[in-house]
Amino acid sequence: MTMQRPSFTDQEALDFHSQPTAGKISMVPTKPMGTQRDLSLAYSPGVAIPVLAIAENADRAYDYTSKGNLVAVISNGTAILGLGNLGPMASKPVMEGKSVLFKRFADIDSFDVEVDTTDVEDFIRTVRNIGATWGGINLEDISSPACFIIESRLRDELDIPVFHDDQHGTAIIAAAGLINACHITGRELKDVKVAVSGAGAAGLSVAGLIRHLGVKRENILICDTGGVVYEGRTEKMDQFKSAFAVKTAKRTLAEAMDGADVFLGLSVKGAVTKEMVKSMAKDPIIFAMANPDPEITPEEIKSVRSDAIIATGRSDYPNQVNNVLGFPYIFRGALDVRARGINEEMKVACARALAELAREDVPDEVAAAYHGARPSFGREYIIPSPFDPRLISFIPPFVAQAAMDTGVARKPIADMDAYRRSLVRRADPSAAFLQGVQARARETQRRIVFAEGEEPAVVRAAFSFKNQGLGHPILIGREAQVERAMEQMGIPLGSLDIINARLSDKNPIYVDMLYARLQRQGYLKRDVQRLVNQDRNIFGSCMLKNGDADGMVTGVTRNYDAALKDAMLVLDPIGGQAVIGMSMVINLGKTIFIADTSVHELPDGPTLANIALEAARAVRGLGFTPRVAFLSYSTFGNPMGERGDRVREAVALLDQCTDVDFEYEGDVNADVAMNPHHRLIYPFSRLSGPANVLVMPAIHSASIATNLLEAMSRATVIGPMLFGLEKPVQIASLGATVGDIVDLATIAAYDTDRV
């Protein structure tokens, strides 16, 4: 697996931090501030009510303020990255960055606090006095040994989690990697001999955590600039190092590494030589984690040891020991049970969970982060990727459970499965919708055709669909080619159903059925035979038409229009309905549906009316109450124009229908349709609230709007989803990911129950 090194200039880095707005964080209100009433509730006089409630019981701050999801990132800038003591203001870009990572990876709100003092007591006093503001405190970039004293005291004096990430974050990720490296090399933690280079915050914390995991105290040799920390040593010693002093005759790092199973480096570039690596035991585990440059490079290690398992702190090598794998999820679990602190058991739980996740098959998001390479558990993948979307739902439950088991949780979680589902929704706003779709698919267990069955992404998607219990996948393709792809991916042969269209015993039935349909449309029987034999979309659609399957997903190798044309040669629209493409857009807690995004290029009035009918039917089937707006450049005839006339015709046609069971309105501009208070200006509007189904006047406007929302905001877009055919067919985009294919197959399975 090869990885590309990130490259940027100093000016690009400065521009990133300064443009278009200085800094990386801002505050976004969670409540509306559009009216005088809103302001009165948010501040005076309405705010007095929660004030009095909290005065009566301070824990109610978790109910009426953001405290329960708020972490402070606090530093005095005495140990900034590998740059040293540059002061509190110089640390601010790093602390802002840490706050961004909290939000990005665990949906935790966070702000940075820079404390202008190097005096330990002043620092402790300052943080203690503001500590009640936060649900937790992340200490960062504080020099050793002051960091040990500061964290220990604040943990005792505050009733919230206090966590020095430079110590424990590195320790947790390194411990996870060590668990897996020992698993691969057949070692037991209780037997390994460990040499640690670096007796600062991270080095001592790593040593403490692996000891908690089972590594024997006498088997850990810690080295600093004075050599091995041994019993009886007096130079360059303090109470924190003394806790790790052992009886040994070894005095140097070279001697400590001689015969060692494991090297953990948290010191400086060049601390380790090739000779030291040569002296280590068979299958050495070498974590050279100094930043920005490791104690010894992987290239140097590999030049003398082909059997080494290597990790570094850098993203341009495999097995990065990256703190972002730990602190967001440690705090997420701790905050969600309102833990009084973060103890060793919670750290161990996090390390073991990370180790377990690394052994799972990686999703597409991870492969994308590695530029298409798909890592798998082994010597070059012992630690999960920071881009694994499962981290948010996988790690915090282990941390929360450990907090509950050790008695530091004030708000235990009763339903851990429900908690995991809520975590998925935090990371991916589409998750709540998809979870409901998946639950229904698991109940119905539909047979879903994966038409392009020889494509590797499709094979993997079919296997994932089956493994998740979403239904029964059927791959269309030549057995030899499909099985070759399965072997290359490690998918067990025989685990997926494969149908060769040319050799299927249903072939004559499908030919007769399709010929009867197409014989008056210019098709000869041999033309139909060729279609059934050679076109997998045609064959799959015939399976649906004949009742031999329940739904189909296609489109990975063929453009949307061609795939849709194939399906419609076999399948009819639902009686009286339009076939439409509809995209689901989720952003900032709001869900809207946009139609038609893939079928009708320039619909006339009757077509727009049919699009609205089918969109409303589909949206209701997906569990939403439709409020339809026919969008236009005009609002209620201002200004008038030809395109607006078509929209108004569609509304007039719906007005004549007696069985329309949803709200609709038009012609309206988007800002009116989405405004919850638009009836103040247009009291005659029939919409009781903001529209959630937007019928676009043309396919280009639908496509542009959807793509803009996805590109310019944090919107999540699902689709376009195809609705209106007599049997469920979903068409993926060219080159769709495995996840996209699985999602569309699941929607096809869900749709079978709806139609």
**143-159 burial code (b ≥16 CB/10 A, e <16):** bbbbbbbbbebbbeebe
The angle, 0 to 180 degrees and rounded to 10, between the axes of the packed helices 165-185 and 344-358 is 50
Alpha helical stretches, state H, 388-522:
391-405, 416-427, 431-444, 456-467, 479-489, 507-518
Contact 142, 150 (CB under 8 A): yes
| Annotation: binding site for a divalent metal cation | 140-141, 166, 291
Q: Which two tokens stand for residue 566?
A: 């194939």
Burial of 235 (0-12, 13-18, 19+ CB in 10 A): exposed
| C-alpha closest to that of 98 among 112, 119, 78 | 112
Strand partners, 447: 472
- Distance, CA of 118 to CA of 172 (rounded, Å): 27
**Tokens of residue 137, six digits:** 């405190």
Annotation marks residue 98 as catalytic: yes
Give residue for tokens 């707006």. 629
Q: Are strands 590-595 and 580-587 parallel, antiparallel or unpaired?
A: antiparallel
The burial of 550, by beta-carbon neighbours within 10 Å (0-12 exposed, 13-18 middle, 19 or more buried), is given as: buried
Q: How far apart are CA 750 and CA 755, in angstroms?
A: 9
Listed as own residue / partner, the contacts of 477-480 with beta carbons closer than 8 Å and 24 or more positions apart are: 477/452, 477/453, 477/536, 478/454
Which three-class secondary structure state does DSSP give residue 263? strand
Q: Which of 92, 98, 241, 250 does the annotation list as catalytic?
A: 98
Q: Binding site for NADP(+): residue ranges?
A: 80-87
Task: Report yes or no: 266 and 200 within 8 Å, Cβ to Cβ.
Answer: yes
Q: Where are the beta strands (DSSP E) in 454-596?
A: 472-476, 497-499, 551-554, 580-587, 590-595
| Max Cα-Cα span within the chain | 99
Instruction: Please say whether the beta carbons of 374 and 367 come within 8 A.
Output: yes
The token duo for 588 is 């900032």
As a whole number of angstroms, the distance between CA 739 and CA 745 comes to 10
Answer yes or no: are the C-beta atoms of 685 and 665 closer than 8 Å: yes
Token pair of 690 as six digits: 């903001």
Is 201 exposed, middle or buried (CB count within 10 Å of its CB: 0-12, 13-18, 19+)?
A: buried
- At residue 313, the 3 state secondary structure works out as coil
Amino acid found at 412? P
CA distances to 207, 402, 585, 673, 695 from 348, rounded to whole Å, are 13, 9, 39, 51, 52
CA distance 552 to 449: 4
**H or E element, residue 162:** strand 162-164
Active site residues per annotation: 98
